Structure 1
């Protein structure tokens, strides 16, 4: 009897906070990993061709040796992407990074350039401490307070990146091709979305993306992504919502 087919991906690719890709390696089958990455590049060259990739060996039972890691790096370069760092892991992983001459990254996020038209509620200064001879009474249990959302009035143009940390993001205009909007919460776009939108950037799987006209190069929720080529053509240009359900990214038209 023939062996059972293995349909699990050799590498689980997720998109990080600034469009940088984190490749969690699940097998050291270098040829298989390279073939998967080459297919991704061919399907969406504008997104993945010469894209920076962080290699994450945390999904393996043991850290690979330097020779195997170098072979994988060269194969991925041949597939069209550029491995630039290793994800933080064990002490063995740190030693491997040193031997390869690559940095270790625990978290990665760019310092985003300011985008004209972004407004937010200013934080109130903390009151001065009370001068009291006796210890103050215990405060009541704290209630969770949502940070005010970031509102962007002007268009987000090509090459710009807008990030709403620990809150939702609302864009009152369009997100142009080559632009990137990111939020730790949900994203609401009241115009066309032609660039990238990444909601739940810190792993919030309940975040959603809403837009009036869907032409996105890429959408992602909690790292799970789809590119325009993955979206049914009947949704192109339509109002849609994007959400995560059972670890699968869903996209549907808004009624």
Structure 2
């Protein structure tokens, strides 16, 4: 097997906004999937140890049989994770979930379908009839800004976020004025700005916004993630620790760079 193939994981793991991870199966190799999960738990036990996991078979051409699915579930449990549901897909997956005694969850499917689907647009712009010249108005009235009513103000967290606490900014940015402690978690559907040390976890673009970013004045993170793509402490270059950094997503890869 080539190095490029070895680099590709058998299962793509993304982090959800409520601490539930979605494991989309790319290659139905139970031993390999279990080994990958065991490695994740060992590298980041606070994040993945006893983590609730939704198994998504939607990336496969065929739905696995019940025996294979049960072997995967048991293997993931032995590796330290806790499979809690299957991601909704076909009628075959629905029957499999009933046989396994697991519920179906649909929310994780949307982000993958947005990633994989081609834009449904016509190649040529639609023709429009020429418009009649507008008559001059008696008074010039400024046009209202259509998006203003839909923009939620950013959420500001002024108190320190301590171990075990979670702060979530729904459909907006999050600004933390002080510290995010080890074992704490800050999450936003938009971007995350942290003006103190980040020692816990920061997740931006929780609903799949790949344009979201994380800005941090003092970087010691346990984990950072944007739109489900994550890095744990062991994967972060040592020269960036303690620095002011920004984090963004580029070509489905998480990038971290020091701020000048």
Which TM-score tier does this pair reach, normalised by the shorter chain? Answer: 0.7 to 0.9
User: Residue 141 of structure 1: CA displacement?
Assistant: 8.1
* Counterpart-to-counterpart distance in 2, 1:201 and 1:173: 21
Per-residue CA distance 1:20-53 (angstroms, 9 max, x = gap):
2110001111011111111111222222122111
The residue that corresponds to 2:77 in the other structure is 77
Is the counterpart of residue 175 in structure 1 residue 180 in structure 2?
yes
Q: 1:161 aligns with which of 154, 166, 169?
A: 166
Residues 23-102 of structure 1: pairs in structure 2 closer than 5 A: 23-102=23-102
| Cα separation, partners in 2 of 1:143 and 1:62, compared to 1, 3 Å | same
Per-residue CA distance 1:157-207 (angstroms, 9 max, x = gap):
111111111110001111111111111110000101111111001111110
* Counterpart-to-counterpart distance in 2, 1:247 and 1:86: 24
Per-residue CA distance 1:47-67 (angstroms, 9 max, x = gap):
212211110111111221111
The residue that corresponds to 1:213 in the other structure is 218
User: Residue 142 of structure 1: CA displacement?
Assistant: 6.2
C-alpha RMSD of the superposition: 1.6
In structure 2, the gaps of 5 or more residues are 109-142
* Counterpart-to-counterpart distance in 2, 1:163 and 1:39: 28
In structure 1, the gaps of 5 or more residues are 109-139
| Cα separation, partners in 2 of 1:241 and 1:100, compared to 1, 3 Å | same
Determine which structure has the larger helix proportion and give its number.
Answer: 2
* Counterpart-to-counterpart distance in 1, 2:74 and 2:158: 44
User: Residue 107 of structure 1: CA displacement?
Assistant: 2.6
* Counterpart-to-counterpart distance in 1, 2:200 and 2:243: 15
Name the TM-score, length of structure 2 as normaliser. 0.81
User: Residue 18 of structure 1: CA displacement?
Assistant: 2.1
* Counterpart-to-counterpart distance in 2, 1:4 and 1:166: 42
Is the counterpart of residue 234 in structure 1 residue 236 in structure 2?
no
Is the counterpart of residue 103 in structure 1 residue 103 in structure 2?
yes
